[in-house]
Amino acid sequence: MQTTITARRLSPTPIVTAGSVEGYGPIFNASLIHHDGRFHLFARGVRDGYRRNPGPGPRFLDYVSDVLVLTSEDGLRYEYQQVLMAASAGGVHSVEDPRVQVVESRGAEHVLMTYTDLPESGHPWRIGVHRLIYDRGRFRLNENSGRVLYPAGHPDKNGVIFNLTDGRVALIHRIHPDIQVAVFDDLEALLDPPPGYWEAYVRHLERHSILSPAPGAQAVGAGPPPIPTAAGLLLFFHERMADGSYTANVALLDPTTARLIARLPHPILAPELEWERLGDVDNVVFVQGAVRLPTGDIYLTYGAADRCVGAAVVDEEELLRVLLAERDSSVGTGARPRTSPRGSCGMP
């Protein structure tokens, strides 16, 4: 029986290259939704003029990133549309790694963009969120909807929002090195939690951790929002290895609790092509977009070496078969899926 599965790249070259939008160099780590007959790619674009830091401190100087939108009919040829959200002096120094998701709450659908909000120097990164509005062929920000989702003072990122089967709203995020999940009755409770919620959450962080790095890895983080299937929620996530490389991996979550059901023991995608291995940060594939296609494949977009965007597909049926075999193998041997060594997820 097959025990490994890999994603198939759709092109030997990037689908979005660095420098393809005027005023920007690297364009990478792109989220994705399919709406109104088109793929809408939400990518991190780094403004021209940055440079490597020859001394101690950050890797780059004058490094500022915005959220760019590109669209496509076929998922291979993308056209630049607009700057959706720009960083600003005195506020958010960089807007990084957007994820776009559709969430149901109180009988309505909400299109949300989560992102890593990098404030001015001296403050930890955090998860920001905005509502999006679709109008005349393009998405725009609801300017008054911005929020920060945080336990204050804790560097937090890789935030995605999704529904559990009972309608509750969950936030997957990463306080280093594990992936955690917080669950709320509805979207409003997530955006405006009761006083003391996050303080109590952090005090018992181990109860909320659902996925830990594999032996020899340093950290894990969610990619796109989980994809609902008959077997559970497919979570694509990245793992940073001990040598600094990033791989794309998959886990299956319980749709009612977001607890871990199974996890593939091997990545579905690793840096292999030159543009995945060499760039501003070498040896990185960072899956951040996932859309189910009518063919039965899941279409993935990923950042490569912090420079460009690649695309791949993976067969959903085969992926679930291997994940369920992994689950059954763990049950048969008495082993448990690799999750937090400190405990399983505890729901608020």
Return the pLDDT at 132.
98
Say how far apart CA 274 and CA 297 lie, in whole Å.
25
Say how far apart CA 291 and CA 71 lie, in whole Å.
14
70 is written with which tokens? 């590109």
Q: What are phi and psi of 149, to 5 degrees?
A: -100, 115
Mean pLDDT across the chain = 92
What mean pLDDT do residues 187-212 have? 96
Going 302 to 304 to 307 to 309, the CA torsion angle's sign is negative
182 is written with which tokens? 């917080």
Q: Which residues of 245-276 are buried (b: 16+ CB within 10 A; e: fewer)?
A: bbbbbbbbbebebbbbbbbbeebbbbbebebb
Long-range contact list for 319-322, CB < 8 A, 24+ apart? Answer: 319/5, 319/234, 319/250, 319/268, 320/229, 320/231, 320/234, 320/252, 321/2, 322/2, 322/3, 322/4, 322/5, 322/264
Neighbours of 297 (CB within 10 A): 20
Give 88-115 pLDDT, tens digit per residue. Answer: 865 677 899 999 999 999 999 999 999 9
Q: How do the domains of the chain map onto residue ranges?
A: 17-333
- Confidence class for position 152, pLDDT limits 50, 70, 90: confident
Say how far apart CA 97 and CA 338 lie, in whole Å.
26
- Confidence class for position 345, pLDDT limits 50, 70, 90: very low
Task: Specify the residue for token string 């490569």.
Answer: 304
Q: Using the predicted structure, report yes or no on whether residue 201 has a pLDDT greater than 90.
A: yes
Name residues whose C-beta falls within 8 Å of residue 201's C-beta, 6 or more positions apart in sequence.
151, 182, 208, 348
Share of the chain above pLDDT 70, in %: 92
Give 219-257 pLDDT, tens digit per residue. Answer: 999 999 999 999 999 999 999 999 999 999 999 999 999
What mean pLDDT do residues 14-24 have? 98
Record the pTM.
Answer: 0.93
Residue 93 falls in which region: left (phi positive, over 0), alpha (psi -120 to 50) or beta: alpha
Say how far apart CA 320 and CA 157 lie, in whole Å.
27
Say how far apart CA 190 and CA 170 lie, in whole Å.
8
Return the pLDDT at 335.
44
What mean pLDDT do residues 110-138 have? 90
Domain 17-333 has CATH 3.30.460.10: no
Q: Using the predicted structure, report yes or no on whether residue 120 has a pLDDT greater than 80.
A: no
Return the pLDDT at 339.
52
Q: Using the predicted structure, report yes or no on whether residue 297 has a pLDDT greater than 80.
A: yes
What mean pLDDT do residues 315-320 have? 97
Name residues whose C-beta falls within 8 Å of residue 334's C-beta, 6 or more positions apart in sequence.
none
Name residues whose C-beta falls within 8 Å of residue 210's C-beta, 6 or more positions apart in sequence.
172, 178, 179, 180, 181, 253, 258, 259, 260, 339, 340, 344, 345
14 is written with which tokens? 């990037």
Neighbours of 51 (CB within 10 A): 9
136 is written with which tokens? 């005349």
* Number of residues assigned to the chain: 348
Highest mean pLDDT among 91-100, 284-293, 325-334: 284-293
CA distances from 45 to 23, 63, 98, 194, 275 (A): 9, 10, 11, 35, 17
In 3D space, the residue among 120, 67, 124, 54 whose CA is nearest the CA of residue 95 turns out to be 67
